[in-house]
Structure 1
Amino acid sequence: MAGLATDDVERLHAGARAIRDRAHAQAERLIGGVLARHPRHPEALRLLAILQLHTQRAAQAVASLRQAIEWHARDAQLHADLGNAHNACGERDAAIAAWRRAVELEPQQPVPWFNLGRAYQGQGDSLAAVEALQRTRSLAPEILPAAILLGDALAHLGRFDEASAQYRDGLRLHPACGDAWRGLSNIKTVALSDADAAALAAQLQRHDIADTDRIAMNHALGKLEEDRGRHPQAFAAFSAANALQQRLTPWRLPPFEHYLEQALAMTETLPEPVDPALGREVIFIVGMPRSGSTLFEQILAAHPQVEGASELQELGIVIQQESMRRGVPYPQWIPQASAQDWQRLGRDYLARTAHWRTARSRFTDKLPENWKHAGVLRAMLPGATIVETRRDPLETAWSCFKQQFYSQPHFANTLADLGAYLRGCERAMDAWRARDPARIRLHRYEDLLASPEPRVRALLADCGLDFDPACMRFHAAARSVRTASAAQVRQPLQRDTARAAAYGGLLDPLRVALGLPTA
């Protein structure tokens, strides 16, 4: 507030309170009045940018902050907020550059370090994320999200003891922290203890905890009870978690079924691609979550030519932005798209994922729900390989029911929806594979367990890769694994992964939904 009269200081304080209280017109008036008299004042410009961010004007916020930085280039807070504004615009690299400048100017500020760590983790650079988040924790050990995110980054790197320590410190700060319990539970190679069982039971008795925390704790309790062999209690805990999630964010089957029918019909005929080799760099791994996709990716990522990029959002973003440009929802605009349109979209995807080809020539995109777009890939990225992974349907569906998913609403909250979704996924993929058999290849989890080397060789051949012995030692590969299977894929193949049979008749509703015989 240096250089401002007392009245203007009060106006900026009042403007900040108005932003907090969402009185946006009042905030605009107060801050604008100060800027009329002091157009270069950094705090007035910074508050204006924050207001612009709150009112969905991120590009204007970037402009306001850049203007302030022209006159106050060494103001760390301005650079930190510029990072936030770039991030709101979807400009990840620019956001990282701004946050890095902020910590260079003022290395004792924890929040820019946290934002850096979160951004690095989002782009798959878990080593850089760990370094930034450790700085955050050393500067501000009370910031709970930093403990959780650091635990996640360490777990993705396979440093499970260190990850567990971070999650436990998160529970010290907040004993009902669902994300901390989720993190501990997802280290599936280490069972929770009797003390954890007592702590979970005590926290779940509270009436003052958030629904999201209650959901995560019930998932953790279900995993704990399953590990103890108490399957009715485990089923009850998983069911409670999913029932609450379904009430909060209900998923509806009819829109999904309508989408599926449209997508199958509208992808039956597509234009011949301009460049049949476009996208040869990409190996999509698609299908149901919990079907072994992380294991198949880990095998491929052990190959010296392949970077394992894990679950990328870029394909969906490219298609969503094209829908917005056309003003027509996907898949309804598919018949209007020309070969040149598909080539443009394919190049857009490749430009967005170029980061993953800096060290190796090929990369995997393992977002399971990309199966919904598999029908257009023969026009958009005709050179890409699509690997569909399948596992026993009951095991797959039950594993989904037990897993907490953060993208909501989600199909895995009821057994009936789960069965319908899995059958719809398989029906669509069968149809698309029949149309593009050379590029869409089916690989089964149980076949890999039964005959590892022949199936690994077949997987590599389908991707146009020579066999490399390192792919048989996939569990030793040093990479970030950003899924719930991070612990399992760092072990040799396990043949005893089936869990559903122990629940007996409790899973009969799921068997019915899948069209399977009851127990």
Structure 2
Amino acid sequence: MAQVSPQIKTHFAEAQQAQASGRYDVAKALYTKILRLNERLPEVHFHLGRLEMQRGAPKKAIKPLRRALELKPTEPMVWRLLLDALIASGDSSGADTLVRAAQSAPLPPQTARELAIKARTGNRSGEAQLGGADPVAFQQAVQLFESGQHAEAAQAAEALHHRHPAVAPILAVLGAARAALGEIDAAEFAYREAIARDDSYAEAHLQLGQILYVRGNYESATAPLERAYELTPDNPLVARFLGLTLLQRDRYAMALPLLEKAAKALPDDASLTFGHARALQTLGRHDEARTLVAPLVDAPDAPPSHLCLMGEILSSLEEQDAARAQFDRALATRPGFGPAISGLAWIAQQQGKFDLSAEYFTQASADGTIDGRLARAYASGRKMLADDPLLPGIQAAYDEGTELPGSRADLTFALAKAAEDQGKTAEAFEKISLANALLNERFPIRSRMVRDLYQRGTTTWNAALTPVAPQDGPRMVFVTGMPRSGTTLVEQIISSHSTVTGGGEIGLLSRALGDRQRLAMAEERSVSPSQLQAAAGEVAEQATALASGAPVLTDKAILTSSNAGFVPLVCPGSRLIVVRRDPRDNCLSMFKNRFRDGTHRYTTDLEELAHNYLAHLEGLAFWRKHTPDAFLEVRYEDLIADPEAGARALVDYAGLEWEDACLRFYENTRTVKTLSAFQVRQPIYSSSVGAWRKFEKELAPLIDILRKGGALEEWEA
């Protein structure tokens, strides 16, 4: 979408994501809002029509598709989908009229012929035609292939191709035979030729996508598989391979509905089930992922990758003993299996068993299985001096130059931590910057993400909204702030109380409000009372399940502060604590730490990080003005300077009686799943205060933006 405002680009990206994940009401509302801003955008009309087709409403698709055709009469996809809508609606007269118009339209002759065949036959399946080729000879080639006589099938298809070079199905059979013979380049060429001859032949797009997927060319595989899905949305194999391809590209939300669709038709496909479960696990739907993986790991010969996924799921569900058992099974199946060692090391580290985690790291190093994730975990749990026994192994893994971008970034972060621990400041910052550049390539920055979050909260709230009726369930204590601001420390103090269950970064409020706010924004209104009530019910239900009977549950989701004004409305009687820290220290800590794939992308670029931090402060200022009693602000430095006074104030604000255990938070045995797992197992220390000074020169661009934005006034006073 060239030459449109950033606002429209943001809305369009959100609409496409919502459409891909099956949230059609949100997508439609966003497309409609875009068209109110600029009606002359053919892509938006097209996707609105496509959305209606996906919802099974072809008659509603016709109007936006006709408008898309008016605005962009040279786009074959619009002609094809409009014809599909007319055929599906039973409008044969409209279909004939469209085909006649195509004959004189500025379209490739091939497209006009395809439309004519489709209208005549009612074919919306993407099946190609044989033209003048002998169908008996074609079937013989197919039968040779299906019977395993691949060389003979290739010979027969080659002969047919010489006589009929423009027939796509012949090229597809030739491609399949070449692939079966291991002639992958020749197979890819044949499929590309088939597509060039007939772009509507879904089978050729599917087979090309499969070839590219198997070769690991996931980005290249996406386009042909998307085209195959456009042509044959009900084909489970197309949904399977497109979903798995998107999964490999970390597009979990887009992959999930495709994998769900494919799984209904292919329930016995273990690879599909594994991918489906991976998507669910990554998106935080751990119970559903567990249900899918359970049959896979029940088999005595379960692959170690399946066992490790179950281990990750069980760890997420706080069933650490069961998780360890799965990782141990994986190691028994394949000694030295890196993901299993990594899983065991992570569990030990999150539980504060750092000596045990070091044993796993040492085992991984001895087996030569150190991967980036493991190296980064090891580095985060100790000071890595020059004589560290594992440092040579990490350096060797880095020097080998793994092509996996995620692992490469993790190894770089680990070496950056070692350089910083050894006082090599310039080298440390150079490696931190390199690691962030690698992440930036893999997960491009979405500009001003924090600003957009606060905008969603502030524009869908209004002062006339009233709190919902109190819900049954635990009372919530929300702890929030920017990443690396000290939220984990604050939650650890409160969750050390005997009446509190520490939930970690569960994000109940933001999840419950998310789509309701998106819909309200698209319709340019505030969240309605009925939406608040529904959100409150969701929060209470999920909180009850997570609290394990405790009367109080903490939720340490980052940037719940963007919805600060909604906390007393959705969760009456709850508390919200916003943690703040010197912006220079806070931003440095974000920049030099690695977050979960695809999250907090703004932290990989100093200028973008500074602007997002300013947006956080601006959003807080809005809530401070309009809902001053909705939250308590805590300065990390004040808590560090006087831990007991700070801890007592936090416990009191949370509505709890004081317990000495809250000052011994580092003895809390609960699992801590954040980057601060090591720090919160130690008594409070002040070495991180003012850490930015070591990198003052390198941080100059960020500091300049923060200072001009007024973020440093209270810290430099």
**TM-score, length-scaled by structure 1:** 0.79
Q: Distance in 2 between matches of 1:423 and 1:356?
A: 34
SS in 1 for 2:633: strand
Deviations 1:134-170 (A, max 9, x none): 2222222353222222221221111222323334444
Amino acid at match of 2:702: L
Q: Distance in 1 between matches of 2:606 and 2:527?
A: 37
| Alignment correspondent of 1:129 | 323
Name which one, 1 or 2, has greater alpha-carbon Rg.
2
| Alignment correspondent of 1:453 | 644
Kept in 1, the 8 Å contact 2:277–2:293? The answer is: no
Kept in 1, the 8 Å contact 2:461–2:526? The answer is: no
| Alignment correspondent of 2:687 | 496
Once the two structures are TM-superposed, the CA of residue 102 in structure 1 deviates from its matched residue by 4.5
| Alignment correspondent of 1:118 | 312
SS in 1 for 2:672: coil
Q: 2:677 is matched with which residue: 466, 475, 486?
A: 486
SS in 2 for 1:506: coil
| Alignment correspondent of 1:508 | 700
Matched, 1:475 2:666: yes
| Alignment correspondent of 1:33 | none
| Alignment correspondent of 2:657 | 466
SS in 2 for 1:479: coil
Kept in 2, the 8 Å contact 1:287–1:371? The answer is: yes
Deviations 1:178-218 (A, max 9, x none): 21221111114665745555555554444553332332222
Once the two structures are TM-superposed, the CA of residue 436 in structure 1 deviates from its matched residue by 3.0
Q: Distance in 2 between matches of 1:27 and 1:367?
A: 42
Amino acid at match of 1:221: L
Q: 2:419 is matched with which residue: 225, 247, 262?
A: 225
Amino acid at match of 1:472: L
| Alignment correspondent of 1:418 | 609
- Inter-CA distance 108–210: structure 2 relative to 1 (3 Å threshold): closer
Q: Distance in 2 between matches of 1:191 and 1:356?
A: 40
Root-mean-square deviation (CA), in Å? 3.8
| Alignment correspondent of 2:374 | 180
Amino acid at match of 1:451: D
| Alignment correspondent of 2:544 | 354
Q: 1:300 is matched with which residue: 494, 500, 503?
A: 494
Q: 1:148 is matched with which residue: 342, 352, 355?
A: 342
Q: Bigger shift: 414-423 or 372-381?
A: 372-381
Once the two structures are TM-superposed, the CA of residue 104 in structure 1 deviates from its matched residue by 4.1
Kept in 1, the 8 Å contact 2:501–2:554? The answer is: yes
Matched, 1:165 2:359: yes
| Alignment correspondent of 1:335 | 525
Q: Distance in 1 between matches of 2:331 and 2:467?
A: 51
Deviations 1:416-450 (A, max 9, x none): 22222222212212321443333311112111122
Q: Which runs of 5+ in 2 are unaligned?
A: 1-143, 150-175, 192-201, 208-234, 244-257
Once the two structures are TM-superposed, the CA of residue 370 in structure 1 deviates from its matched residue by 2.5
Q: Bigger shift: 376-385 or 300-309?
A: 376-385
Amino acid at match of 1:503: F
Q: Distance in 1 between matches of 2:440 and 2:386?
A: 26
| Alignment correspondent of 2:619 | 428
Kept in 2, the 8 Å contact 1:53–1:85? The answer is: no
| Alignment correspondent of 2:290 | 96
Q: Alignment identity in percent?
A: 24
Amino acid at match of 1:514: L
| Alignment correspondent of 2:577 | 387
Q: Distance in 2 between matches of 1:254 and 1:116?
A: 36
- Inter-CA distance 496–437: structure 2 relative to 1 (3 Å threshold): same
Q: Bigger shift: 464-473 or 143-152?
A: 143-152
Matched, 1:243 2:437: yes
- Inter-CA distance 416–52: structure 2 relative to 1 (3 Å threshold): closer
Once the two structures are TM-superposed, the CA of residue 118 in structure 1 deviates from its matched residue by 1.4
- Inter-CA distance 388–332: structure 2 relative to 1 (3 Å threshold): farther
| Alignment correspondent of 1:39 | none
- Inter-CA distance 229–190: structure 2 relative to 1 (3 Å threshold): closer
Kept in 1, the 8 Å contact 2:536–2:571? The answer is: yes
Q: Which runs of 5+ in 1 are unaligned?
A: 1-5, 30-47, 69-76
- Inter-CA distance 282–298: structure 2 relative to 1 (3 Å threshold): same
Q: Distance in 1 between matches of 2:560 and 2:470?
A: 20
- Inter-CA distance 315–129: structure 2 relative to 1 (3 Å threshold): farther
Amino acid at match of 1:370: T
Q: Distance in 1 between matches of 2:480 and 2:616?
A: 10
> Which structure would you say has the larger RCO, counting Cα contacts within 8 Å and 6 or more residues apart?
1
Kept in 2, the 8 Å contact 1:280–1:385? The answer is: no
- Inter-CA distance 479–460: structure 2 relative to 1 (3 Å threshold): same
Once the two structures are TM-superposed, the CA of residue 483 in structure 1 deviates from its matched residue by 0.8
- Inter-CA distance 317–418: structure 2 relative to 1 (3 Å threshold): same
Q: Distance in 2 between matches of 1:334 and 1:282?
A: 30
Q: Distance in 2 between matches of 1:373 and 1:189?
A: 38
Once the two structures are TM-superposed, the CA of residue 490 in structure 1 deviates from its matched residue by 0.9
Kept in 1, the 8 Å contact 2:577–2:634? The answer is: yes
Kept in 2, the 8 Å contact 1:277–1:383? The answer is: no
Kept in 2, the 8 Å contact 1:476–1:490? The answer is: yes
Once the two structures are TM-superposed, the CA of residue 84 in structure 1 deviates from its matched residue by 5.8
Once the two structures are TM-superposed, the CA of residue 329 in structure 1 deviates from its matched residue by 5.4
Q: Distance in 2 between matches of 1:106 and 1:176?
A: 27
Deviations 1:462-513 (A, max 9, x none): 1111111111111111110101111111111113222222334333323212
Kept in 2, the 8 Å contact 1:204–1:214? The answer is: yes
SS in 1 for 2:697: helix
Matched, 1:398 2:592: no
Deviations 1:391-440 (A, max 9, x none): 22211111111101224361111222222222221221232144333331
SS in 2 for 1:368: coil
Amino acid at match of 2:420: E
Q: Distance in 1 between matches of 2:537 and 2:493?
A: 27
**TM-score, length-scaled by structure 2:** 0.59
SS in 1 for 2:677: coil
Once the two structures are TM-superposed, the CA of residue 343 in structure 1 deviates from its matched residue by 1.2
| Alignment correspondent of 1:289 | 483
Amino acid at match of 1:165: E
SS in 2 for 1:454: helix
SS in 2 for 1:341: helix
| Alignment correspondent of 2:90 | none
Aligned length: 479
- Inter-CA distance 212–439: structure 2 relative to 1 (3 Å threshold): same
| Alignment correspondent of 1:74 | none
